[in-house]
Each structure stands twice: as structure tokens, then as C-alpha cells.
Structure 1
Amino acid sequence: MFSLLLPAADACAALGDTMASARLGTSAAPVPLLNGAVQMRTQRDAGGTTVNEYASSTGQIFAYTWQGPTIPDLPALLGAYDASYRAGAAEGLTGSHDLHASRVARSDVVVESGGQMRSYVGRAWLPAALPAGVTPADLP
């Protein structure tokens, strides 16, 4: 097994936290999406990757998307859901491998990540926390 060094997140809250608890510093103010059902806030992490944070109208963070030259600090973004993600990723090691994309779907968290060196994209979300009528496909 190998380890991957990732840049530290600048100061995101984690999935399941509230937007009010985030310490995003100079990031933009939240932008309402989907008729106000979702708030999105954007930041650029230390590695130059753009990270979008999605929260429900109550402020609970239910998803992140990212795009950029590095993979964001997933343990920081996933917070309490990191252990579940790692368990799912470990189970997936016994199956088929795609060098450029991975998907870990657990009952509590889903993480999709892919790309090639210096061009990564991905998203993570809490299926049970998606606001009514919102799907992962709605997250730009």
C-alpha cells in the first residue's frame, strides 16, 4: 500500500458541519442556488484547487466539489466521514482498478474523484443530507 501526501486545506469545515463553523477566510460569500435550497461558497486551497462547498438552507454542509492541479485534503473535507470513506476505498482495492477515476459509495458518504496529474476533479456528498429535490448532478 502507498500513501499520498496532500496539501492541507486552508480552513474548510467538514461534511456535516455548518457553514457558520467554516473558517474560510477570504472566500466568497455564499451564493444561493436552486431557488435558495442550496448555498454555495468557493475557495482556492493551498494547492491551487478550487473547492466548492454546498450547504442546505439551514447551513448544513452536505457536499463538496473540486477541480484543479491537486486533490484537496480529503480527510479535512470529509471530517467524521473519512473513516467510512477509507473503509470503502480499502474494500474497493480488491476489485477492478481504474488509474484515473475512483468511486466509493457508502450508505453515509459518496466520494468520486478522478483526473490526471495536475488536472483533478471530484465531489463528495452525504446522500441522507441532500436537500429535497436536489441530486448530485445539480452541483456545478
Structure 2
Amino acid sequence: MRLFKIAMLAASLLPLLPLSSYAALGGAPGVAAAAAPTAAGSQPASATTGTAPYSVRESVDANGVTVREYVLPSNVVFAVSWSGPVRPNMRTLLGSYFGNYVAAGQSGVHGSGPLVEGNGEFRIESTGRLGNFSGMAWLPRLVPAGVRPGDLD
């Protein structure tokens, strides 16, 4: 009987767990984002030439966090940005670069201020307070020529 109660509790909590519908940085775009982009997210980003150097895919997770994936024509996510009432699951969002995020958070004293760290391999800018979190992470080596990460949002 006790096992049954535990199973019922776990099943009732499953819908409350956020499901990751976005890709990891450096990987292919997320399935949900590719399947149902928003009207803004389905259009390629503007560029100075006739061909856009990247496209933007946008999704909203179960917690109301908007995640934008910046995708190269080779179908690789070179940057991600987020905004919402909570931070997204950073381990899922950053994928193999999560260790860089952890290291960036441990370097120096940040207190409650913004996190702006990185190197030639990985950059992150993250800020937030209760109910309002936002940030961006990108891979400098993959950013298309002529594109500034600060202009992506």
C-alpha cells in the first residue's frame, strides 16, 4: 500500500515538472522549437546580405520561460537567450557547456549582481531577480561574421 501511495504521489507531480523543449548550446535545435516556432521565431533574422546568417527559433517552457535558439544554416545552435519568471534548466540549456557556466559562476565574487563571464570558447551574461530572469550564452567561435551577440535579442 505504501508503494502505491508513493507511485500515486510521483504520478501527480509529473505534470508540474518542467519539460525541456529546447536544444543544448552547440547542438541541433530543440524538437518542440522546430515543430512549433512562434511567428517571430519562424522568420530568419535580418542580415545585411540577401541571405540571413542564422535563424531564430523560440519556445516557451512549462514555467513560462521564453527560450530563443540562434541557429546556423548548418543546424547548430550558436547562441541561446532566455527570459521569464524563473531561470531555465541551465544544465539542459547549455548541454556540454554547463561546466563552463558553473566555473564562470565560481570565478570572482558576484553576489546578487549579474554574471558576465567567459572566454574564447564560451560566453554568458545572466541577470535576474525574483520573477524576472534573463540572459544569453553563446559560442564566440560559431557566431557568424558581422553578427554581434548584443544585437541578437
* Pairwise TM-score range, normalised by the shorter structure: 0.7 to 0.9
Partners in 1 of 2:20 and 2:109 — Cα distance? Answer: 34
- Point out the structure with the larger strand share: 1
Of 60, 84, 96 in structure 2, the residue corresponding to residue 68 of structure 1 is 84
SS in 2 for 1:82: helix
Sequence identity percentage: 33
Q: Residue 145 of structure 2 corresponds to which residue in structure 1?
A: 132
Which structure has the larger Rg over C-alpha atoms? 2
TM-score, with length taken from structure 2: 0.76
Which residues of structure 1 form unaligned runs of 5+?
1-6
Number of residue pairs the alignment of both structures matches = 129
Of 8, 11, 15 in structure 1, the residue corresponding to residue 25 of structure 2 is 15
Partners in 2 of 1:96 and 1:58 — Cα distance? Answer: 38
Is 1:33 matched with 2:49?
A: no
Displacement of 1:79? 0.6
Q: Residue 106 of structure 1 corresponds to which residue in structure 2?
A: 119
TM-score, with length taken from structure 1: 0.82
CA offsets, 1:32-88, max 9 Å, x none?
013311200111112111111101122210011111101111111111111122123
Letter in 1 for 2:137: A
Displacement of 1:108? 1.3
Letter in 2 for 1:33: A
SS in 1 for 2:25: coil
Partners in 1 of 2:82 and 2:64 — Cα distance? Answer: 10
Q: Residue 46 of structure 1 corresponds to which residue in structure 2?
A: 62
Which residues of structure 2 form unaligned runs of 5+?
1-16
**Greater relative contact order, per chain length (Cα 8 Å cut-off, separation 6+):** 1
Name the stretch that deviates more: 81-90 or 63-72.
81-90
Q: Residue 3 of structure 2 corresponds to which residue in structure 1?
A: none
In 1, are the aligned partners of 2:20 and 2:92 still within 8 Å (CA)? no
